[in-house]
Structure 1
Amino acid sequence: MAKVEIGLDAELVVEVMVLAGVGSPQDAVELVLRDYIARGHRTETRTGSADRSLREADARPQEPQG
């Protein structure tokens, strides 16, 4: 897997480390990102059918108005 280096505010990282209960800044940020992605997938699973039908309705050609 490719690695990416980024700079983050130290206070933000320490806060995440405390909330996540981990001692490594990298582990803390990785946990937050994995949780964010998993939460997005869960949301898509719960709302996917409604979103899909809305997208399909928006994609249909509309009658000319006027």
Structure 2
Amino acid sequence: MAKVTVSLDAQLVVEVMVLAGVGNPQDAVELVVRDYIARGHRTEAKIAERDEALREIDAGPRTNEG
């Protein structure tokens, strides 16, 4: 996999290291990025499930009232 070098504020990286419980800045930032991506995928899956459920409700038989 290709690598990218990014400059970040040292205080920001130290805070990420503390929160992630990791002693290596590279690993800490990578964990945060991977978590962010995974969270996005989970959100997309939840939205897709909700949309599918709404489609099933809309596709159901309709009763005429009146």
Query: Which bracket does the TM-score occupy, shorter chain normalised?
Result: 0.7 to 0.9
Letter matched to residue 21 of structure 2 = G
Backbone CA RMSD of aligned residues: 1.7
User: Where does the alignment leave 5 or more consecutive residues of structure 1 unmatched?
Assistant: 54-66
State which structure, 1 or 2, has the greater radius of gyration over its C-alpha atoms: 2
Q: Give every structure 1 segment of 4 or more consecutive aligned residues whose post-TM-superposition deviation is greater than 2 Å.
A: none
Listed as ranges, the gaps of 5+ residues in structure 2 are 55-66
Give the count of matched residue pairs.
Answer: 52
TM-score, normalised via structure 1 length:
0.73
The percent of aligned pairs where both chains have the same amino acid is: 75
Q: Deviations over 1:11-63 (max 9, x none)?
A: 0000000000000000000000000000000000001253xx8xxxxxxxxxx
**Alignment correspondent of 2:8:** 8
